């Protein structure tokens, strides 16, 4: 199994459940979808942390309202300094000392790293020290296109959420991935190969398809109707799809990649 159990990787729906339970982890890693949607998700988490209403986040109390206009004193955005492209190690060090400062009004402070790609390896290592021993009054929200671009040590410290894309095109991909998985359970290898064909010419589309397969696995794993056997297969598909999605840039031939994938997936079936 990979470091990430399928059930930890979810869209907003499951995030809501975690927030309602009140067990908010000390570090979130939000990947996938667009920068706008990731930011929206980060603000949703921030509001859930600082909100003063019973039903969090209410979007209506002074705390929520100030998060919406980026002016809540307990919510800090970590971005590069003016005219710089990266978040410097000094900034991260300064951040570390800031994390020990108690919140102004809320119970916890939220630090949002708007784009983790702006953190180089040194920066990530500096951040790791805080992630390893986080003060109880702090929640980190790290936003990134794909967690593959971060140090595994950083990733392993976070609760990971994969956002699904909600563009019309991604609806088609979601349908294709669902169909693809049913073909697998119906033992229709040839049809599976045909189904991947339209994703063979474009790396971005291929990645979108693999991510959609992952999301579909999570969706089915979450369903109570999914049998034990099916869950086991889905977990293996998830891990394999994740591995392939992360190794995509290095892979030369997408047709070969998908053919090998179909064979591998078939081997998971009894």
Residues engaged in binding Zn ion (CB under 5 A): 51, 53, 58, 61, 64
Work out how close the CB of 48 gets to Zn ion at its nearest, in angstroms, rounded to a whole number: 9
The dihedral built from the CA positions of residue 236, 199, 176 and 11, taken in this order, carries a sign that is: positive
Work out how close the CB of 141 gets to Zn ion at its nearest, in angstroms, rounded to a whole number: 17
Q: Which is nearer to Zn ion, 106 or 142 (CB)?
A: 106
Q: Which is nearer to Zn ion, 58 or 269 (CB)?
A: 58
| Phi, psi torsion values for 101, nearest 5 degrees | -75, 130
Work out how close the CB of 72 gets to Zn ion at its nearest, in angstroms, rounded to a whole number: 11
Helix ranges, the chain (H) = 12-21, 35-50, 62-68, 89-99, 121-132, 152-155, 168-185, 189-196, 203-222, 228-247, 254-267
State how beta strands 109-113 and 138-144 pair.
parallel
Work out how close the CB of 50 gets to Zn ion at its nearest, in angstroms, rounded to a whole number: 8
CA–CA separation, 235 vs 238, rounded Å?
A: 5
Work out how close the CB of 56 gets to Zn ion at its nearest, in angstroms, rounded to a whole number: 6
Q: Which is nearer to Zn ion, 103 or 135 (CB)?
A: 103
Q: Which is nearer to Zn ion, 60 or 122 (CB)?
A: 60
Work out how close the CB of 60 gets to Zn ion at its nearest, in angstroms, rounded to a whole number: 6
Q: 212, 170 in Cβ contact below 8 A?
A: yes
Q: Is 22 exposed, middle or buried (0-12, 13-18, 19+ CB in 10 A)?
A: exposed
182-186 contacts: CB < 8 A, separation 24 or more? 184/233, 184/237, 184/265, 184/266, 184/269, 185/230, 185/233, 185/269
Q: Which is nearer to Zn ion, 51 or 183 (CB)?
A: 51
Q: Which is nearer to Zn ion, 53 or 223 (CB)?
A: 53
């Amino acid at each position: 199994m990979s470091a990430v159990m399928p059930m930890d990787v979810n869209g907003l729906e499951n995030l809501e459940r975690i927030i309602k339970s009140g067990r908010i982890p000390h570090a979130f890693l939000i990947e996938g979808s667009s920068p706008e949607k990731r930011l929206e998700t980060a603000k949703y988490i921030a509001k859930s942390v600082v909100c003063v209403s019973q039903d969090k986040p209410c979007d209506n109390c002074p705390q929520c309202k100030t998060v919406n206009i980026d002016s809540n004193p307990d919510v800090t955005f970590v971005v590069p300094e003016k005219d710089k492209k990266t978040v410097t190690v000094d900034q991260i060090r300064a951040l570390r000392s800031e994390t020990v400062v108690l919140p102004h009004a809320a119970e916890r402070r939220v630090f949002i790293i708007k784009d983790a790609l702006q953190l180089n390896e040194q920066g990530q290592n500096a951040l790791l020290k805080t992630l390893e021993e986080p003060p109880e009054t702090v929640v980190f929200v790290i936003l990134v296109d794909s967690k593959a671009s971060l140090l595994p040590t950083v990733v392993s410290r976070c609760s990971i959420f994969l956002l699904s894309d909600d563009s019309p095109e991604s609806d088609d991909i979601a349908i294709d991935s669902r169909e693809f998985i049913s073909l697998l359970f119906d033992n229709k290898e040839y049809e599976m190969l045909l189904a991947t064909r339209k994703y063979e010419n474009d790396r971005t589309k291929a990645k979108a398809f693999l991510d959609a397969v992952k999301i579909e696995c999570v969706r089915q794993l979450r369903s109570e109707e999914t049998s034990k056997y099916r869950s086991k297969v889905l977990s293996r598909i998830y891990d394999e799809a994740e591995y392939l999605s992360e190794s995509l840039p290095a892979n030369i031939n997408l047709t070969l990649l998908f053919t090998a994938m179909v064979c591998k997936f078939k081997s998971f079936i009894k």
